[in-house]
Structure 1
Amino acid sequence: MKTHIGVLGPNTTTGEQYQLGCEVGRCIAEANAILFCGGLGGMMRAAAEGAKSAGGQTVGILPGTDKTAANEFIDIAIPTDLGAYRNALLVRSCDVVIAVHGAYGTLSELAFALRLKVPIVGLHTWEVHRDGKADPGIHLAHTAKEAVALAIKLAGKK
């Protein structure tokens, strides 16, 4: 079975952030993994666009009931009618997640991943501290290629 890699990030992005998301998605497809995301705009759209540009498969876990709300790069749209609570379902569906930048929704997904013991790769995203120390559950990467390689490695250790 192919590795399921979730991409977490903000629903609005700068041009630079969008390009990074596209690169992450492309690297996921090149690694022969399946990209999972929230299925809408911003980083979700960027990662899905990148994956599709490299012939990859994409799955969007949507907050609403309408599968047509998914961005045009989503192959399989899963409407949940869960609103923001779909973040837990997204994380649970993945072998590993990559957080790229992010807003509060991303922070909630990181908390779910830490709680559910889903490995996390962080790429220019939130830092989570416990007792004054960075949480060791978030593995930092500096490039898209490094993030995906680390994600594949961490998924293999589950």
Structure 2
Amino acid sequence: MAVCGPSVCTPEEAAAARSVGELLAAAGAVVLCGGYGGVMEAAAEGAARAGGLVIGVLSGADRTGANRELSAAIVTGMGQARNHVLVASADAVIAVGGSWGTLSEVAMAVRSGSTPVIGLGGWRVLDAGGTELPGPRQASSPEEAVGWALES
């Protein structure tokens, strides 16, 4: 299960991501994330606290900047193209909060059509007329987001 979100986040987003990581790990899921700070680090911390396996898919050519909560890191050297590796490797994607990188991950996951995408805060995409486009299922809590992800 991938947990995506901004590298600079609010305390509320960090708390939600920490809960998501913990709940996923407690359910036996492997947690994937981008491997750096913010939402990624909070999700990794929650999963590690619950004894889970946390894999970081890093954009850089080495482990520089990777958070300490990772069980393992995959060094891609792919820059933002690593977002595709992350979401394509997941059984479900939970996006906590929003940033441009998070939006690209959400877009790739939605476009794949094969991975459930759940939003917890963050991006909602509207068409030119202001109508919300089909995309991430919006959860109201970490428990709801994880419940939906585990149903997949």
Select the residue among 52, 58, 61 that pairs with 1:62: 58
1 or 2, which has the higher strand percentage?
1
Select the residue among 102, 122, 125 that pairs with 2:122: 125
Structure 2 CA distance for aligned equivalents of residues 146 and 86 of structure 1: 27
Partner of 1:38: 34
Give the match's secondary structure for 1:69.
Answer: coil
Q: What pairs up with 1:70-85 in 2 under 5 angstroms? A: 70-85=66-81
Alignment gaps of 5+ in structure 2: none
Partner of 2:4: 8
CA RMSD after TM alignment = 1.3
* Matched length: 150
Identity over aligned pairs, percent: 45
Q: CA deviation at 1:131?
A: 6.5
Q: TM-score, normalised by structure 2?
A: 0.93
Partner of 2:133: 135
Letter in 1 for 2:118: V
Q: TM-score, normalised by structure 1?
A: 0.90
Alignment gaps of 5+ in structure 1: none
Structure 1 ranges of 4+ moved more than 2 A = 129-137
Letter in 1 for 2:133: D
Letter in 2 for 1:25: G
